[in-house]
């Protein structure tokens, strides 16, 4: 998919101002912001009416970027990432250099290395990871189509990236926790 430069530039400009965006991801429609901006992350919790004790995930564009935001990526995580083909979110111990309100109470953070051209272009333009959480009010179903996103939610977002989802089989990513002590736990298949 060829990503329109103007659309990427508009999204990056919004993120640099601390704004929120609604955008298609490699899985479902997401709400995002600069993952290093505490106030922007707060806005996302407010938009979603989400309990702040429930953490959010972030997207990075590459393995080197992943390494910048985790103290020590477990060797097992590298092995899983090398062979995995589908969108996979991994919960890591000891995140660093992100907004404090993204870090879970157990000092962990969920991160997905995205292969989606739009998401990668936005992340590269911002030069920072972005938050990615489903485009719904907490407790409501995750939207599969743009028209499934409530108008109430759209009105709360600062900038909407109006592009279709790239995938035909739209579903949230698999989630696993890979701890530094070697424990692996599948959270969502």
Q: Is the pLDDT of residue 27 over 80?
A: yes
What integer pLDDT is reported at residue 169 of this predicted model? Answer: 56
Instruction: Please write down the long-range contacts of 47-54, taking CB distance under 8 Å and 24 or more positions apart.
Output: 47/20, 47/153, 47/156, 47/157, 48/133, 48/136, 48/137, 48/138, 49/137, 49/138, 50/133, 50/138, 51/138, 52/101, 53/105, 54/138
Q: Is the pLDDT of residue 20 over 90?
A: yes
Compute the average pLDDT of residues 168-173: 68
In the chain, the domains with their CATH numbers are 5-188 (3.90.870.10)
Contacts of 20 (CB under 8 A, 6+ apart): 14, 31, 32, 33, 40, 43, 44, 47, 156, 157, 158, 159
Nearest to 150 by CA among 132, 138, 161: 138
pTM score: 0.93
What integer pLDDT is reported at residue 123 of this predicted model? Answer: 98
Compute the average pLDDT of residues 10-37: 96
What integer pLDDT is reported at residue 151 of this predicted model? Answer: 94
Q: Is the pLDDT of residue 176 over 80?
A: yes
Structure tokens that stand for 124 in this block: 């590269």
CB atoms inside a 10 Å sphere around CB 39: 11
* Confidence band for 174, pLDDT divided at 50, 70 and 90: confident
Q: Are 73 and 95 in contact (CB under 8 A)?
A: no
Q: What is the pLDDT of residues 105-151, one digit of tens each?
A: 999 999 999 999 999 999 999 999 999 999 999 999 888 788 999 99
* Confidence band for 1, pLDDT divided at 50, 70 and 90: low
> What is the secondary structure of 22-87 as a DSSP string?
EEE-SSSEEEE-BTT-HHHHHHHHHHHT--TTS--EEEESSHHHHHHSBS---HHHHHHHHH--S-
Average pLDDT, the chain: 92
Q: What is the pLDDT of residues 41-87, one digit of tens each?
A: 999 999 999 999 999 999 999 999 999 999 999 999 999 998 988 88
């Amino acid at each position: 998919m060829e990503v329109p430069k103007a659309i990427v530039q508009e999204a990056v400009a919004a993120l640099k101002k601390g704004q929120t965006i609604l955008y298609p991801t490699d899985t479902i429609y997401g709400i995002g912001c600069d993952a290093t901006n505490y106030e922007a992350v707060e806005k996302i919790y407010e938009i979603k009416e989400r309990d702040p004790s429930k953490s959010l995930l972030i997207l990075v564009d590459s393995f080197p970027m992943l390494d910048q935001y985790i103290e020590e990526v477990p060797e097992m995580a590298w092995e899983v990432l090398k062979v995995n083909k589908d969108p996979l979110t991994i919960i890591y111990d000891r995140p660093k250099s992100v907004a404090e309100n993204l870090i879970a109470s157990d000092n962990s953070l969920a991160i997905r290395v995205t292969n989606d051209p739009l998401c990668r272009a936005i992340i590269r333009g911002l030069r920072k990871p972005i938050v990615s959480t489903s485009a719904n009010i907490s407790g409501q179903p995750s939207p599969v189509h743009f028209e499934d996103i409530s108008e109430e939610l759209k009105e709360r977002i600062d900038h909407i990236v109006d592009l279709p989802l790239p995938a035909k089989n739209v579903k949230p990513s698999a989630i696993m926790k890979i701890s530094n002590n070697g424990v692996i736990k599948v959270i969502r298949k």
